[in-house]
Amino acid sequence: MGNITIKMLAKQLNLSTAAVSKALRDSHEISPTTKQRVLDLAAILNYIPHPYAGSLREKKSRTIAVVIPEVADSFFSLALNGIEAVAIEKGYHALIYLTHENQEREREILKDLESGRVDGVIMSVAMKTNTFEHIRLLHQAVPLVFFDRVCEEINTAKITTNDYECGYLATKHLIEAGCKKIVLLSVSESLSISSRRMQGYKQALLDHQMDETLCRVIDYNEDLTMNYDLLIELLKSKDRPDGIVATVSKMTTEIYLACMERGLNIPNDIKVVCFSNDSNAPIFNPSLTTITQPAFEMGKLAATILFKALKRNSMVLSDESAVIPSDLLIRASTAGLL
Amino acid sequence: MGNITIKMLAKQLNLSTAAVSKALRDSHEISPTTKQRVLDLAAILNYIPHPYAGSLREKKSRTIAVVIPEVADSFFSLALNGIEAVAIEKGYHALIYLTHENQEREREILKDLESGRVDGVIMSVAMKTNTFEHIRLLHQAVPLVFFDRVCEEINTAKITTNDYECGYLATKHLIEAGCKKIVLLSVSESLSISSRRMQGYKQALLDHQMDETLCRVIDYNEDLTMNYDLLIELLKSKDRPDGIVATVSKMTTEIYLACMERGLNIPNDIKVVCFSNDSNAPIFNPSLTTITQPAFEMGKLAATILFKALKRNSMVLSDESAVIPSDLLIRASTAGLL
């Protein structure tokens, strides 16, 4: 029983796996001579295409992959629901892969997907990812749509929200509520969404003639205990902030607990706004002002675009990219002084 | 290029797919005559085993599937992290499938997994599942471990927590805090964990000579808006409860909001304890008393047992089942009167 793979054909022919794959799909990108070489060797070696190879119209796996950093975050779990709503309607399975924010893990997952296990991939890039070759290789093999955390370097559809405007809006809201010393709690600089939120924050400070020496950006760690200590130090300092913009939902618990520990009242001593989709924000003590992203809609649109491409049997195009705006939901954590 | 599947062999030979699969694996459960029939036909039709077929020792997919109801719940997302911690260590991918509490969806997913896409399956049963044939078929095809929501009818390893004791403990805690009218908010009766929690609740009422006419079990709906209305009605009634045990984490938001709407103070007018792994419970208004399950540990143990079976190339045994106890974490929502 043979078990010839595209990789083995590619090695024998001294071609890339992508080229062999394209030749077998009769792609116009491959010359007739090369195509013939590939088909001849495939016949000699009795190459059998992978039964789940998405590239063969009649042999769809009826499966898509969703590659995301984690699920313990309401944004991603809501986005997943949006993706699955479409997948179920189309009669597809969605396989969910978690990168745990780890680039090496992400690389392994994409390598596995390259082999044609699924028909298409929807992906949100890991925080630690700073090289993109593994994503480029996947994009050559299967249709790919990004959502939220996109890879600018790769030319395919990207579904995002208005991160720059939201960074601006959150900061402006704190300034208008009377804050003078606003801290932005940020994560990885390599993520485009983080840098956009930060740019919005900086522009809002500029536009409102804020004293920039009193405002600053603080990088958050993966280790949550370290963050709690970092917050305690921040709140102890002489120039402690009177406003916090947190760019990630999971920062909320420690911000509240650190303020409690330091005896600081939210919103009287310090005001807090978080990027968050947590449905419990209204029952926090005090209820939390949030930038709430259209998570479900973003997932749904990403899936809709992917299935359109699958139906046409084509790669996904960047001109189908879309930006869906988020909302500022004002609650007690940013209320003005009574 | 052929594309012969186990299913096609089974049909030709008038055998079950499980029998063909076992014959190809040289299982002792299949007679030598049948094995020869299968191997002969496989040779004639040039059957190539699926490259991801977990049944062939040398061709492991190095993939396991995790079938769960949802991820928008901290219990499941933590359990997933436990499963993945083990999978990553073993060099495996974990594919996550969501049933969305739907039996039909669950059936489709298990059917897909039966074909040998993965080496093993870890599963928590959907709320609506009340027949088990689809699970039985999967269990014949690949090693299977249950966690949390198990299927009693199937003889394999089950990782659970002490649901009966926790139902008892939560109720006893409310009785000791002075509650006289305790309502249990429950979900599907077909889930063994729900009925165990309810039995614990009832036993605690009995043991403490509580007036049972004042206490009752209320079934929750999938539609969250309906639940809010149901709670408002409950809190309006003359015999409104002074204590609530909520068996599912996602009930928390509406319980708090409905109490707020009705002007009832938690814990002075009504005390609340929830089965929940929400890391934000300490910052709720008031902080929430919880039965916190060992989610991460349950996932980790389920995966450890599955990998042990994969290493031995055997099915999973029920004598590896384990019960890991949960904790009652007392916070402000059940505090006694000041």
Q: Which helix (H) or strand (E) holds B41?
A: helix B32-44
Does the pLDDT at position B223 exceed 90? no
Task: Please check whether residues B155 and B300 belong to one and the same domain.
Answer: yes
In this predicted model, what pLDDT tens digit does every residue of B111-124 receive, in sequence order? 989 877 899 999 99
pLDDT at B27: 74
Task: Please check whether residues B109 and B168 belong to one and the same domain.
Answer: no
User: Of B74, B97, B283, which has the smallest distance from its Cβ to A257's Cβ?
Assistant: B283
> What chain B residue is nearest to A258 in terms of C-alpha separation?
B283
pLDDT at A224: 66
The span from the CA of B50 to the CA of B64, in Å, is 16
Task: Please check whether residues A157 and A299 belong to one and the same domain.
Answer: yes
Contact in structure between A61 and A30 (CB atoms under 8 Å): no
A40 contacts: CB under 8 Å, gap ≥ 6: none
Task: Please check whether residues B284 and B167 belong to one and the same domain.
Answer: yes
Distance from CA of A108 to the nearest CA of B (A): 9
Residue B338 domain-assigned (yes or no) = no
What sign does the dihedral A306-A309-A314-A316 (CA atoms) show? negative
Task: Please check whether residues B225 and B167 belong to one and the same domain.
Answer: yes
> What chain A residue is nearest to B78 in terms of C-alpha separation?
A72
Q: What amino acid is encoded at B140 in this protein? A: Q
Residue B337 domain-assigned (yes or no) = no
Q: Are strands B271-275 and B120-123 parallel, antiparallel or unpaired?
A: unpaired
Residue B84 domain-assigned (yes or no) = yes
CATH number of the domain bearing residue A304? 3.40.50.2300
pLDDT at B19: 86
Task: Please check whether residues A134 and A22 belong to one and the same domain.
Answer: no
Task: Please check whether residues B73 and B138 belong to one and the same domain.
Answer: yes
The span from the CA of B19 to the CA of B285, in Å, is 58
Residue A1 domain-assigned (yes or no) = no
pLDDT at B3: 60
- List the strands of the sheet with A327-329, edge to edge: A216-219, A182-186, A243-246, A271-275, A289-292, A327-329
State which of A71-75, B186-190, B247-251 shows the largest mean pLDDT: B247-251
In this predicted model, what pLDDT tens digit does every residue of B25-82 receive, in sequence order? 777 778 888 888 888 777 767 665 554 443 334 457 789 999 999 887 889 999 999 9
- Compute how many other C-beta atoms are within 10 angstroms of the C-beta atom of residue B33: 8
Eight-class DSSP state of B276: -
Task: Please check whether residues B171 and B112 belong to one and the same domain.
Answer: no
Residue B15 domain-assigned (yes or no) = yes
Task: Please check whether residues B148 and B181 belong to one and the same domain.
Answer: no
pLDDT at B59: 52
What is the per-residue DSSP string for B85-108?
A: HHHHHTT-EEEEEE-TT-HHHHHH
| pLDDT: which is higher, B14 or B96 | B96
Task: Please check whether residues A152 and A256 belong to one and the same domain.
Answer: no
Q: How confident is the model at residue B225 (pLDDT cuts 50, 70, 90)?
A: confident
Domain hosting residue A220, numbered range? 163-292
> What chain A residue is nearest to B59 in terms of C-alpha separation?
A3
Residue A333 domain-assigned (yes or no) = no
pLDDT over 90 for what percent of chain B? 58
> How many residues in chain B?
338
3-state SS class at A110: helix
Task: Please check whether residues B233 and B282 belong to one and the same domain.
Answer: yes
What is the count of structural domains for chain B?
3
Low-confidence ranges of chain A (pLDDT < 70): 1-3, 26, 44, 46-59, 188-189, 222-224, 337-338
Residue in the block written with tokens 């249990």: B184
pLDDT at A2: 45
The span from the CA of A25 to the CA of B163, in Å, is 54
Extended strands (E) in chain A: 63-68, 93-98, 120-123, 144-147, 158-160, 182-186, 216-219, 243-246, 271-275, 289-292, 322-323, 327-329
Task: Please check whether residues A194 and A105 belong to one and the same domain.
Answer: no
Q: Would the CB atoms of A252 and B283 count as touching at under 8 Å?
A: yes
Does the pLDDT at position B338 exceed 70? no
pLDDT at A272: 98
Residue A99 domain-assigned (yes or no) = yes
Take residue A119 and report the two structure tokens written for it.
């028909």
Whether ipTM tops 0.85, in short, is no
Residue A334 domain-assigned (yes or no) = no
Extended strands (E) in B21-119: 63-68, 93-98
User: Of A1, A117, A284, which has the smallest distance from its Cβ to B283's Cβ?
Assistant: A284
Of B20-24, B153-157, B205-209, least confident by mean pLDDT is: B20-24
